[in-house]
Chain A
Amino acid sequence: MLFNSIDFAVFFPIFFLLYWIVAKNLRLRNILILSSSYLFYGWWDWRFLLLIITSSLVDYIVGNKIYHTKNDAIKKRYLLLSLLINLGFLVYFKYTNFFIDSFIKAFSLFGNEVDSFSLNIILPVGISFYTFQTLSYTIDIYKGKLKPTKNPLAFFSFVAFFPQLVAGPIERASHLLPQFFKTHTFKYEIFKKGMFLVAFGLFKKMVIADRLAILVNEVYNNVEVYSGMDLWIATVFFAFQIYCDFSGYSDIAIGLSRMMGFDLMKNFDTPYFSRSITEFWRRWHISLSTWFRDYVYIPLGGSKAKEYRVYANLFIVFVVSGLWHGAAVTFIIWGFIHGVIIVIEKALRNHNIMVNRDKPLLSVYFGIQTFLIVCIAWLFFRANSFDDSLYIIHNLFSFNSQVGIIKLGLAEPEIYLSFVLIFVLLVFDYTHRRYNVAKIVNKAPLVMRSVMYVCIIFSIVILGVYGNDGVSEFIYFQF
């Protein structure tokens, strides 16, 4: 079920009503959350449920076994079992064909021709997200940071919690799991804040991201037709498309959770105003970057290792992050670019030759520089193939396009609207860096606040792009 679908528009109000009816009864409430989450997830394909149930079951049992076992070697074995099963699912469903393809290509480099083939494997929606979430639970217990729960209902609900199940934020058990043991009372103020986030998230997704996607898809699916400015526009548009798409999803997830009395972690914090790639990763997909920090970077030695080892650790984290996003060379290159720049920035800081980026003019300069680097990296992320990404790189600076901006898939008024929307988004984000916009909105006079809500709702209805089948999927669902 997609947040921007009619199905969900019917599902959520019914769930919401039932939720607050049974809210005081913890057991009933968690049963409702779990059954609704399975319904939400099974809407795509009921067979996916078997995976999430298996994953939950394994980590519930393993978590308890690790905690109650005194022997470190056995503890380690249990942890390995959890890693093997969870990562095994992930690798099988996500990377099997990639590895087969890479294997065949590697063989052909040595002159051994192998017939190309691939397995017909459907990638279960959100598997990368809930796998990381359940893994963090087992690893935290293993490290002694967390006590396992004895309540399977709460644990299964924590893994399958539908607002953040398919695209995050990737929650830590220490933050989200205890919330399944608390009764929530309906608070109008919190409900209002949740509503604002949901409305704003839908606006970002349906009005901005899906509109920009039309142009981006046209150019990136036919790269050979375009060059120079067309490619730049499509790449910049993609930067905003993926931001609005993914942060829109996160806003909706956080908003829905708030409406239910749950608190989810922040996932985006105005990333395109970052003045360095290091800062960018503190503001982009925060739940994933902190996950990699805690469960990959630090176990590798983190910043406490020797200088070159730290650089290597950082680099590994970003390449793995690229691979997490998708089973393709283009994603690895995307991670590679970020890794290289992060290492350079770390080296500059270590040797105290990093320019102070806080001064106003330098701040603007480095802001633009960071955005351009991010865009170049996005180019690989979005390209349909490695060959396409090379073509784009070769043609980015050949400004002899015969096509023209109004022939890139969007009608003239839609192009103007797209630029206006990007500008509005930037103004909003800039304001949000200094002030909490949601707070300002909630403190505004009654009529003004209502007018604003009505404007957002009808902007979505009128300016929203509903997609060919009525709804369009979120980009991050494929990861």
Chain B
Amino acid sequence: MKKKILSIAVFVVLFFGTFYYLNKAFSSEHHYVNTIEDFKKLSKETNIDLVFYGSSHSYTAYNPAVFNKICNTVSYNLGSDGLRMCFTDLILEESLKFTKPKLIVLEVYDASLTLPKTDKAKGYQLRALDVIPNYSIAKWKKISEVYGEDDYLSIAFPLIRNHDKWNEVNYINVSRRQELDSSKQLFYNGFIGSKKTIKEVGKFKDFKIQRIIKDTTKSQLGRVAKKSIQEFLYKAKANGSKVLVISSPDLRVPFKKNNYFFSELEALLEKNDTPFLNLNDHYQEMDLEVKDFRDPGHLNINGANKASVFLANYIKENELL
């Protein structure tokens, strides 16, 4: 009997040890690994008072270095590629285990409030979902709303997800931090400032004066979007944090035929006693130019500096911190 127990124990230890190692080895290499690792490291050293949540619109636009200087605080940007609102509260919950921010800034735009439908969009969510432990019930509840049962194993374990890339895996160095090229981008506390400039300058040259708002009756804020925002606000406020919701500068916004979204969002947030700041209404104050964008949806490092200075002053003036 002792022999059997020993043999099962040896097998179990070997099995789980190997599984743990391979799961690490098969994890994808991307900058959100750096973001999360550095966040945890910083939160051990000090409390982070200001944290940004959202998508790439967040991590490309708000440089914590600017906020630290103007607001005399410690800030961090936890934006993740293509992250949808429905999963953002999971990142919030996870981050609150490490720090207790005074102000939480949530960045949203119309597409971020929808559920991911395409494989690519669903794939982007995994960067953030990998951060959340598999034992989290909330995680699986959300996953069940978006993904099919066939995807569950792939979501839970990078080893299953990326098993067919067996010949590309670095089996010796299992760190999946991305080597960021400082000649092309600046990385600081989750912020990634791009040094690129948008190519379609001519197409958007009138972005400051273009305002076509036609159909104001068609709602763009569905039930899922409202629920996701309210869940986020509830969790943030339950932590004792103030919340500011913002929308980042986006060159496509002035040209959209239906911008009722912002009015709807503002109304929803007002009901929830949460301030909303749409940076698309402040191009002049920010002195934003087309060349301040990396692409139509994202600011580059210059644009990020202008947006960060503007937002930091707004926070300071409104005593949100």
The residues of A with any CB-CB pair to B shorter than 8 Å are 6, 188, 413, 417, 446-447, 449-451, 453-454, 457-458, 461-465, 469-470
Contacts and interface: CB of A to CB of B under 8 A. Distances in A.
Contacts of A450: 7, 10-11, 14
B10 to A, nearest CB: 5
Nearest to B150: A470
A413 B164 CA distance: 11
A188 B4 CA distance: 8
B175 interface: no
B4 A454 contact: no
Interface in B156-172: 159-160, 163-164, 166-167
B221 interface: no
Interface of B: 4, 6-7, 10-11, 14-15, 18-19, 22, 26, 150, 153, 159-160, 163-164, 166-167
A280 B22 CA distance: 41
A461 B154 CA distance: 11
Contacts of B22: 458, 461-462
B167 A413 contact: yes
Nearest to B164: A465
B10 A446 contact: yes
A454 B7 CA distance: 13
Most buried by B among A451, A457, A462: A462
11 contacts: A6-B153, A447-B10, A447-B14, A449-B7, A450-B10, A457-B15, A458-B19, A461-B22, A462-B22, A462-B159, A464-B163
A463 B163 CA distance: 7
A162 to B, nearest CB: 23
Contacts of A464: 163
A421 to B, nearest CB: 13
B147 to A, nearest CB: 13
Nearest to A455: B18
A446 B15 contact: no
Given A458-B18, A461-B159, 8 more contacts: A188-B4, A413-B167, A446-B6, A450-B7, A454-B11, A454-B14, A458-B22, A462-B26
Contacts of B18: 454, 458
Contacts of A417: 167
A2 B119 CA distance: 26
Query: Which residue of A447, A451, A454 has the most chain B CB atoms within 10 A of its CB atom?
Result: A454
Contacts of B26: 462
* Main SS class of interface, B: helix
Residue of A453, A461, A464 with highest tally of chain B CB at under 10 A: A461
B11 A461 contact: no
B163 A462 contact: yes
Contacts of A449: 7
Nearest to A457: B15
Contacts, number: 40
B4 A462 contact: no
A470 B149 CA distance: 11
Nearest to A413: B167
A451 B14 contact: yes
Nearest to A412: B167
Contacts of A457: 15
Nearest to A447: B10
* CB-CB nearest 8 A-B residue pairs: A413-B167, A450-B11, A450-B10, A454-B14, A462-B163, A450-B14, A462-B166, A470-B150
A453 B11 contact: yes
Contacts of B6: 446
Given A454-B11, A454-B18, A461 B163 contact: yes
Contacts of B163: 461-464
B119 to A, nearest CB: 13
Contacts of B15: 454, 457
A462 B19 CA distance: 11
A429 B89 CA distance: 55
Contacts of A413: 167
B179 to A, nearest CB: 24
Nearest to A453: B11
Contacts of B153: 6
A280 to B, nearest CB: 34
A457 B18 CA distance: 10
Contacts of A454: 11, 14-15, 18
- Among A453, A457, A458, A465, find the residue whose CB has the most chain B CB atoms closer than 10 A: A458
Contacts of A461: 22, 159-160, 163
Contacts of A447: 10, 14
A453 B26 CA distance: 20
A462 B10 CA distance: 22
Nearest to A416: B167
B145 to A, nearest CB: 20
A169 B236 CA distance: 61
B159 to A, nearest CB: 6
Contacts of A451: 14
Nearest to B18: A454
A55 B163 CA distance: 43
B20 to A, nearest CB: 12
B151 to A, nearest CB: 9
A459 to B, nearest CB: 10
A351 B80 CA distance: 80
A33 B320 CA distance: 67
A465 B166 CA distance: 12
A384 B169 CA distance: 37
A461 B18 CA distance: 12
Given A457-B15, A461-B159, A446 B7 contact: yes
Given A450-B10, A450-B11, A454-B14, A463 B166 contact: yes
A461 B6 CA distance: 25
Nearest to B153: A6
B162 to A, nearest CB: 9
